[in-house]
Structure 1
Amino acid sequence: MKGLILAAGRGSRLLPISATRAKHAVPVAGTPIIARAVQALRDAGVDDIGIVTSPSSETDLRDATANSGHLTFIRQSEALGTGHAVLAAHAFLEHQPTLLYLGDNLFQDNLTPLITTLRDADAVLGVKEVPNPQAYGVAVVKGGRLLRLVEKPRTPESNLAACGVFAFRPELLEHVAELPPSDRGEIEFPQALTRLMAAGGTVRAVELGGFWSDAGTPDDLLAANTHFLSQQRPRLDGRAERSVLTGNVVIEAGAVVEDSVITGPVWIGPHALVRGATLGPFVSVGAHARVDTARLHGALIDEFARVLHPSRPLSRVLIGRHALVTAPSESGLQVVMGDRSIVRV
């Protein structure tokens, strides 16, 4: 069994956070999305993993997975869709069954059931019950068998969303290779499942019951950050001085917390400095970031960011790398959004 993660897209819905790096490299509760994807495949028993990248995203993804063991990086020369990305990995897949993972997804469930279900099917997809199926590709399923996929229907036939993970036998690649471009000019991998069923193949659906996010928007990232912070185990490898720590708190090696009140779940990354702050719950502070005299709740602070003496509490905020959030200057408010940006509030 091969594992294949598609991570060539930049993520326009996450701009400006994704303007300077691939969205898959953005951390959630201290761990890059792409590293969580790799771990999900390893937890399912898949060790031979390829990652499809773009020329602009490969360096970010290599850095983000530096501690994830051996990986094969495959370059997709043009952004021509998920089907095109799978075909770019044809040589890597070596005519073996594949567990395919769209790299901006995050799952609580173990993915092993997709592999076991493939024993009695030609392909398998993961589905998840959602309250707003019209925003997704909708799977119509009967008795565990996929009948059809409908992309973002106005009137959904079911509330099951296709949620970005598939298992398939190598013969499916023949159908992928025959796909015409979609209306947006891309080769869409899910359409190969429709062709497979039309040819008499069996596609089964595995319903996932736990947390799932496609991490496509800032709100998605914050929700995922909240979920994975809740799953961590308390750990104190850094220093906490004259501070009160309550609940599920992780302070990584090299981090320093001084004169602060921390209410978990909170994650404070390596070599971060938190001073005179009130953090939590649901706050992650990236490596080498600095938080001074601030009150934060429900926040994702990326590496090297600085939150210095803001004049009001900050809630549900996403602050990119090297960004600065501080109090207004004498000239008044200043707002410059994005990585390496400044927000004065």
Structure 2
Amino acid sequence: MEKALRVGIIGAGGIAATVHIPNYLKQKNKVEIVAITDVAKENAKAVAKTFNINQVFTDHQEMLKEVELDAVSVCTPNKFHAEVTIAALQAGCHVICEKPPAMTVEEAQKMAETAKQYGKILTYGLSFRHTQEVDTLKRFIDENELGEIYAARVHAIRRRGIPGWGVFTNKELQGGGPLIDIGVHMLDAALYLMGYPEPDTVFGVTYQKLGNKPGVGLAGHWDWENFSIEDMARGMVTFKNGASIILESAFAANTEKHDEMSVSLMGESGGADVFPLKIYQEKHQTLIDTTPSFLPAKDNYELQMERFIDCCLNEDQPISTAEQGVILQKIINGLYESADKGEPVKFFAE
């Protein structure tokens, strides 16, 4: 058997306990989880006990110094992504960091530069990119079935889905609300399918109309008195190749559906809705709609972690790269900056 990947977990919250650790364990012939760290020691000890992780720390630097690791999962609040990821890369570890990449563009750039400097893999937990729908449509796009994709719409909208746990409503620790938590997934999926074009101009608006008052919570009861994020973000992104994306993301909005996560693409030779997958074309003077009759049922989180493990073991590049993380961070921060200023934000060539 090939040498098992020695993995450490940084951050013992929900995403570590429900996504990273269980899916590492599904690849137990390839992975050994040897340590976990969290500033809240009792949290780290509880997760370690549940999953039989032998070594527990409260300081990530101490863990990185004392334990021989090949890779780490960064599952901290967003504020600490850059600091922890850079430390892990400098310690010689490959890293999968939860989304969004960072709090600022400068942090995302430093993370990418450090990964390159130390020759390590840095990828992000953008799990929708690993869905069967996206995998399938990417093959169609690679065969030029849609032609040039010049327009997209992305929706990540909940009717009353403000998280009632964790630090999701704390702007200081998270950097934002639905845009950087659920909107980022749909935005990344669209950008990936469009070839991750370079952004040119963004225009964004944000609203805080529902989250800062009590109401019905479909995802637990949130702390409305300390609600410091937006409950809705809307925006438009134009790219240097002429393409554009229109985006809507909300934790709380007065809509019919309780939860909508969708990407729509429009190209010269065809279009597609991604969730669920349906392709629209004109062929032989006929308008054709194509729906797959079967897609494998593999869980996207499982596939994300499996791909990360294989990239580490085989020294392959992941499909979600650090450089793409910088572009994603530019767009996110540009939308927030535009919303704050009330005017478009234009990116200039570096």
Q: TM-score, normalised by structure 1?
A: 0.28
- Return the structure number with greater strand share: 1
- Return the structure number with greater helix share: 2
Q: TM-score, normalised by structure 2?
A: 0.28
Which has the higher Rg, Structure 1 or Structure 2?
A: 1
Higher relative contact order (CA 8 A, sep 6+): 2
